[in-house]
Structure 1
Amino acid sequence: MSAEVERLKDEGTRLQVIISGAVAGLVSRFCIAPLDVVKIRLQLQPHSLSDPLSLNGIKGPVYKGAFSTFRAIVREEGVRALWKGNVPAELMYVCYGGIQFTTYRSVTQAQSLLPTRPPPSVESFISGAAAGAAATTATYPLDLLRTRFAAQGSDRIYQGLLGAVRDISRYEGPRGFFRGLSAAVGQIVPYMGLFFTGYEFLHQYIGGTTLPFGSGDATAGVFASIFAKTAVFPLDLVRKRLQVQGPTRTRYIHSNIPEYKGVIRGLAAIWQREGYRGWYRGLTVSLIKAAPASAVTMWTYERVLHALIDTNKNDETWEI
């Protein structure tokens, strides 16, 4: 393994890594929030645009592409609608970033203690998959709340974040906060594994000071994210559909979302009703979102971590 990869994985204390990951998640989320709302709206649209019969009886809007969806949301609900669900999403991204990078670092260091260390690509995959699974499970209720707020139209279902938590607890119980978790973990494990494997590989050649202004880190993040996101997108789509199941299912902007019984049955039902293209509805905007999100995340993480290390080398506060 090259010295550059060792430097990336082992530098910084645990507290510095937590702070850097949290800041990276916060900044990234703020930048891509509108694209996230557009993606969720497209993913929740359950009718096939190529089949006119599937549009019969639909009460909600019919979105046709990322840019027209963006315009429709602004026109019908106002600019603020592009940040629906941003509060739970910001909380999720801050927590997610810190947990993700801390777990990645810890698992990588643990693997270095094994009698036989795995190859670099295998090591990165294991660390990335473990980091994604841990962060996804810990922050999943916030992800579900983000989706439900983004799915609301002009008629509000939940009166604020605390009201949503209270209503879900009352009418759906604790399990209501984890609808679709199996799809999320099934998606994030290969996604993060593929993402970090791709990032580590690309970072060796174009990261650090290879490109000006630290753009190598951002470029590596972009290509790694596009590759990983495309591979697991159907699981991301069915996760969104499962997150809005329950007693409020017919009250969202798309009031005709079918009822799905689990991940596999959900994927089969989408294929049967909407065709293979139904599995990839919203992929374009998802990739558009993933590129700047990953670029901003990795660029911010590297810059914040290096800043903390440079300014606190002799401060024992950071040595934990």
Structure 2
Amino acid sequence: MSLKTDRLKDEGSRTQVVAAGAIAGLTARFVIAPLDVLKIRLQLQTHSLTDPLSQAPRGTLPTLRHIIKNEGVRALWKGNVPAELLYVCYAGIQFGTYRSVTLLLKNIGGMPDAAESFVAGASAGALATGCTYPLDLLRTRFAAQGRRKVYGSLAAAVRDIYRHEGPGGFFRGVAPGLAQIVPYMGIFFVTCEALRLQLAGFNMPFGSADATAGMIGGIIAKTAVFPLDLIRKRIQLQGPTRKRYIYGDIPEYKSATRALGMVVRAEGVRGLFRGLPIALVKNAPTSAVMVWTYERVLNVLIASNKTEEKMIP
């Protein structure tokens, strides 16, 4: 494996890798915040896609116009505070774990590059998801609020969920979340690493090979696991506040497997892919910005550290 391909895995210290990952996550979230809110709203729409009598907005543009008209432009950044915390923490844990697991597998030896990338990516995704899941749930609940607020602030939301739902309330939907992220991160890192190796020979400008590899890897991985992402979002709204969100007709789901069956019966197979186009539009720049920023920041941190070492007598 070339040095170019190894860079994401084993260059830089643990602190540099975590810092670069956190900055990459923060930057990516800033770029795609409105798309994230729009995607969540689309995923929470439960009306039949073939029902001509439904009054709910359908499709990306009608939903976007509905949000701006009824809630204002600022509504496109609902849940941004927990989302920023989520992206920073998630990216830092993800890249740090990916590096550590990869180095461990290299020391063990005997594993093909593709398998190594899959195991490291899946492990990184699972750990990052579990550690940051409460922030993901809070992000979803704030994004699902209409003009009538369910929670007045982030602190109020944490207190209310803990008081009325217990600690487990912060982990509603974690099962489909973990079931989603393991194949997602595995597919993403395998595809990304393979494409970066292939694109390295084209001498693409401004680091666009990294961005292109991240974008394509994100599209393929997101499409493969999207139904689980939709189920996770809907289960996150379960509980005593279920009927108080912008879409108060979300059914009560007892489990992820039952939720999948209920969605298919009520909305058809297409219902499992609500919001996929906007998710891909969001995911492509997110993955591209994440990988591109990570590479640039890590290089700056490594160069800065080398400069400091030279200055020490």
* TM-score, L = length of structure 1: 0.94
1:19-34 matches, within 5 Å, as 19-34=19-34
Contact 2:144 2:245 in 1 (8 A): yes
Kindly indicate whether residue 282 of structure 2 is the aligned counterpart of residue 289 of structure 1. Answer: yes
CA separation in 1, counterparts of 2:152 and 2:7? 47
Q: Does the 8 Å contact 1:207/1:220 carry over to 2?
A: no
Aligned-residue CA RMSD (Å): 1.3
Q: Residues 48-59 of structure 1 correspond to what in structure 2 (within 5 A)?
A: 48-52=48-52, 55=54
Instruction: After TM superposition, give the deviation of residue 62 of structure 1 in Å.
Output: 1.4
Q: Deviations over 1:72-121 (max 9, x none)?
A: 2111100100000000000010000100000000000000111x421000
Structure 1 residue 62 and structure 2 residue 56: aligned? yes
Say whether the 8 Å CA contact 1:207–1:215 is kept in structure 2.
no
* 3-state secondary structure, aligned to 2:306: coil
Using the TM superposition, name which of 126-135 and 42-51 deviates more.
42-51
CA contact (8 A) 1:208 1:216 kept: no
Q: Identical aligned pairs, as a percentage?
A: 61
- Residue ranges of structure 1 left out of the alignment (5+ in a row): 56-60
Query: Is 2:225 the counterpart of 1:227?
Result: no
**Paired residue secondary structure (2:107):** coil
Which residue identity is paired with 1:160? S
Following superposition, the deviation at residue 314 of structure 1 comes to 5.0
* Match for residue 185 of structure 2 among 157, 179, 192: 192
The letter of the residue matching 1:91 is L
2:70 — aligned with what? 76
Deviation of 1:5 after TM superposition, in Å, equals: 2.2
Q: 2:169 is matched with which residue?
A: 176
Q: Give the residue type in structure 2 aligned to 1:146.
A: R
Distance 1:249 1:289 in 2: 26
What is the CA deviation profile of residues 135-185 of structure 1, one whole-angstrom value per residue up to 9, with x for unaligned ones?
000000000000000000000010100000000000000000000000000
> How far, CA to CA, are the matches of 2:104 and 2:59 in structure 1?
45
What one-letter code is carried by the residue in structure 1 that aligns with 2:94?
Q
Instruction: Give yes or no for contact 1:208–1:217 (8 Å, CA) kept in 2.
Output: no
**Quick one: which of 118, 137, 145 aligns to 1:152?**
145
Residue equivalent to 2:42: 42
AA of the residue aligned to 1:222? M
Q: Is the 8 A contact 1:234 1:280 kept in 2?
A: yes
Q: What letter matches 2:43 in structure 1?
A: Q
Distance 1:68 1:207, change over 3 A: farther
| SS in structure 1 at match of 2:283 | helix
Give how far 1:66 is off.
1.3
Counterpart of 1:85 (choices 56, 79, 85) is 79
C-alpha distance in structure 1 between counterparts of 2:277 and 2:5, whole Å: 32
The CA distance in 1 between the partners of 2:284 and 2:90, in whole Å, is 18
Q: Give the distance between the partners of 1:158 and 1:189, measured in 2 at CA.
A: 31
CA shift for structure 1 position 10: 1.2
Cα offsets for 1:249-307 (capped at 9, x unmatched): 00000010000011111001000100000000000000000001111111100000001
Unpaired segments ≥5 residues, structure 2: none
Equivalent position amino acid for 1:162 in 2: A
2:94 paired residue number: 100
